[in-house]
Structure 1
């Protein structure tokens, strides 16, 4: 088989199923900067699993500094943070030490090593045939039962918003607690949206001063 046939064979091979919202988050065991960690040990708590393509990169450094400075906001929501990179544990340790030295913050959350890209591939962060981690810029919000509730992707040259990460977890928690939805740009304390009526009787019973399909409820 020549190289072209080899390449075609790879393309035709079965590909891993892309993860979707409400899929179970793939479990893993890995070394981290806080010791060995297994994803399933975080059951019962919310988790943000976010990835970056490499240590010692400017955009990712800015994100780590901002996350470290806002770690208390995630703690208040009973939400753990896990970072993932294909770099080695020793690279992670060197980078976090450098961040502490130059920015005066200690990164309090574990940073997972994934040199084989096994975890990144299990989460669909990179194509199975990809030789590099250039596209590993994903964020997953995992709920206490281990289901993926939100997925976001960022390019290498645009930093993530920590405020939006916090708001997203707050919105998911409020939606679950009150069995409702959150409107655009929702913030804690603002009205939620009631479930859409599924019968004509319920639709006709809605207040006449608002559309039947758009009903606010208090959180």
Structure 2
């Protein structure tokens, strides 16, 4: 059985392009965007690594640490980073795990036999500061990730945690949020003094400032 939302992200110690890390120690107190790619020196992966690097400021202001992974070596990663920086006009600084023995990829169920027996698919794990898995997404090898969606869902998770709300379809920062049905009308009036709109007893909208 693979990892599920709500599980504690398994810890591991491994070499990266920034030296050896203990995952739980390295990520303590931060959110993590942990993502795998099939292989270094490949086209889609190059664009994804570049885009992650270009968005460093966006991740930082959300208290998110990116962490990449593939089954290549540290030496291969370091050489490839030069290509990423050159072709994507960036300066990649986040660590990339060198999972040459595929131990972490197998731990996180990143290798799907229907795609490859040795290379990881494009897995995404959004992990909170308590090491809990809050979101998983898996993309095929030939399709790059949507980074707008990755940032959006981090914003939604953090907004939900901060205000005790849920986020509707296509929600964006600044948009109305939903008061969970588990919150009584009396409690909603206390918790959301800014007011709310009741469409149905189970569907109540309010606004919050992120």
What TM-score range do you get, normalising by the shorter chain?
0.7 to 0.9
Matches within 5 A, 1:52-71: 52-71=37-56
2:17 aligned partner: 33
- 2:7 equivalent in structure 1: 23
Q: CA deviation at 1:52?
A: 0.5
Partner Cα distance (1:30, 1:177) in 2: 33
Q: 2:159 aligns with which of 174, 181, 189?
A: 174
Matches within 5 A, 1:177-188: 177-188=162-173
Give the deviation of 1:133 after TM superposition: 3.2
Task: Identify the residue that residue 145 of structure 2 maps to in structure 1.
Answer: 160
**Structure 1 pair 198–124 and aligned structure 2 pair: CA distance change class (3 A):** same
**Structure 1 residues 111-135: Cα deviation after superposition (integer angstroms, max 9, x where no partner):** 010011100111112259x973345
In structure 1, the residue matched to 2:178 is: 193
1:83 to 2:76 alignment: no
Query: For 1:214, which of 195, 203, 206 is the aligned residue?
Result: 203
Change in Cα spacing, 1:78 to 1:208, as seen in structure 2 (3 Å) is closer
Provide, for residues 162-186 of structure 1, a one-character-per-residue CA deviation record: whole Å limited to 9, x for no partner: 1111111111000000111001111
| Alpha-carbon shift at residue 217 of structure 1 (Å) | 1.9
Distance 1:147 1:155, change over 3 A: same
Q: Gapped runs of 5+ residues in structure 2?
A: 189-195
CA contact (8 A) 1:140 1:152 kept: yes
**Matched residue SS, 1:189:** coil
Q: CA RMSD in A?
A: 2.4
What corresponds to 1:123 in structure 2?
Answer: 108
CA change 1:131–1:164 in 2 (3 A) is closer
State the alpha-carbon separation in 2 of the partners of residues 114 and 84 from structure 1.
7
How many residues of Structure 1 are paired with residues of Structure 2 in the alignment? 200
**Residue aligned with 2:200, SS:** coil
Report the secondary structure of 2:5's partner residue: coil
Structure of greater Rg: 1
1:146 maps to 2:131: yes
Distance 1:143 1:29, change over 3 A: same
State the 4+ residue runs in structure 1 displaced beyond 6 angstroms.
198-203
Contact 1:183-1:192 at 8 Å conserved across structures: yes
